[in-house]
Structure formats: C-alpha cells, structure tokens
Amino acid sequence: MNTCDNFDIAEEQLKGFTRSAVRAKIMLSLMNREMSASELEKKMGIRVSTILHSMKEMVEEDIAKRSSGGYSLTNIGRIQALLLGELVNAIVALDLRKEFWLSHDISAIPNDLLSKIGMISQSQVMEADPAALLKIAEHAIAEMVRAKEICGLSPIIVPGFSEAIITAVENGAKVNLILTQNIIKEVKNHYHADIIQLLNCDNFKLYQINDEIKIAFTVIDSMLSLGLYRMDGGYDLGNDLICIGPMARSWGLELFEYYRKSSISIHSL
C-alpha cells in the first residue's frame, strides 16, 4: 500500500484536525492530563457549549472519553494529539525562520529529524555584520568555554575554536567532536600539539567522518548552534540558527548521534 492509498484511508481523520480549531485545541489541551469542561473553557477562551459539542463528537469517535475529572484522551487520541503537536510546532518553526530554511541546503539533516523540526521552534537566526563575519563564531566560543558538555560536528576550521575546546576540557567539560577527514588533516598539521593534549584527556573524544558533510553544529549544554551551506554550495559563515532549551538540545544530540554512528573513533594521530 503506497502513501496515496494511506491518505485515502486517513482523509476523514485528517479533516478532523483541520476543519475544527476547537477540536484540535481540545486535543492539545488534553495531551498531558484530564480536564473538566470549565477548565478547558478557561484555558481555550471558548464557550463551554462549543467545547461540549466537540467533546461529544470526539467521544463517539473514540478520540476522547469521560473521566472522573472531566475528559481525557483515549490511547488513540493521545497518539494523534502528540502527532498534531509535532506538526503545529514544525509549522511554527518553519514559519518563524522561513528565509533561513528556504535559502540553505538541508540535505545533511536526516528525514526523521526534519520531521521533528518543531523541537527547535524556540530559535533565532544570528546574523553577522558583513564587516565582522566572525561574530557568530565568537558567540559560540564564548559559550563553549563556560559549558559543561559539548557535542559538535564541523567540516570547517573556525579561528579560536581549538583554544576554546582546550579551555572547556581543562574546565572539566565533557567534549565529543566529529571532524571531517580533511579537517582532521588540517588539525594535525596546524594544531598537532593541542590535539595530542586533548586526546590524553578522559573527558575528550574525537571522531572522524569520511563523507562530505554539508552541516556544522554544536550542542552546548541547552543551546544548539546550527550552521548550513547555502544553495550555491558555500558554507554560510554569516548566519547560524541558535536554538535554546532542552528540546533543542535533544534534537541536536540526536543529530550528533546520527553522524557519530558513521564515524570512527580517533585515539591517536
């Protein structure tokens, strides 16, 4: 059965999300706990009579059920609400940073993480002044030296990055880095003593990935800094997506783990 056939089966349920904002908001409100009709009225700012009309339909369709505290979602309703929540967050994330997503190559982000893009909805685009393109790098470096945990991947050399990593490791931060084969060679040629020092530290791990990678990112405690290549193939030094919060961190760590699985651990140079 192909995707179009599945759509035909799911069409009526999908219409339930889109034809009624009240119904959708009820599902999102009940996602984590049961609520009475009056609680839903207060939260949603919608009349009880309107809420009860939608609840009646949802109970009949086994999306919701009556409970001691009012109403709660069935197992099916909870799963649908979780999916709806992800879709809503994704739409917000894309709409708020529309120009960023339209102007960059996203091929380096796996599909399962693109589908979870709503996890980084709390974000801002940090733009560097054309006269000071290292502004973004300086911001990331300042965060790194204070961090407790750093995970990142880079296909580029950033001035000051090596020194910041050394400082973070010396301060006790747990650091995991993935570098491309070409960058490993550059590091070996220009920062040989530094990398030897780092490889001797228990809280530092280095990985090499041999594929050509069109993404750079760093997860620093509860912040994700995401850099992408432009559509013309060049890396965009002037724009990073800065995402804050535990959800952004989780998304970034999933991205790191995706690439770590395709990397080899480096113990010596």
Q: What is the pLDDT of residue 127?
A: 52
> Can you tell me the distance from the alpha carbon of 86 to that of 12, in angstroms, rounded to the nearest whole number?
20
Q: Mean pLDDT of successive 10-residue segments in the chain (269 residues)?
A: 70 73 92 92 92 92 89 94 90 89 95 92 60 58 84 86 87 95 88 86 94 92 90 86 89 96 90
- Residue 39 CA to its chain's centroid (Å): 32
Strands 239-244 and 123-127, sheet pairing: antiparallel
Q: What is the pLDDT of residue 133?
A: 45
User: What end-to-end distance do the CA atoms of the chain give, in Å?
Assistant: 51
Q: What is the pLDDT of residue 137?
A: 63
> Can you tell me the distance from the alpha carbon of 97 to that of 11, in angstroms, rounded to the nearest whole number?
29
What domains sit in the chain, N to C, each tagged with a CATH number? Answer: 3-86 (1.10.10.10), 100-266 (3.30.870.10)
Q: State what percent of residues in the chain have pLDDT above 90.
A: 51
> Can you tell me the distance from the alpha carbon of 228 to that of 240, in angstroms, rounded to the nearest whole number?
8
Q: How many other CB atoms sit within 10 Å of the CB of residue 7?
A: 10
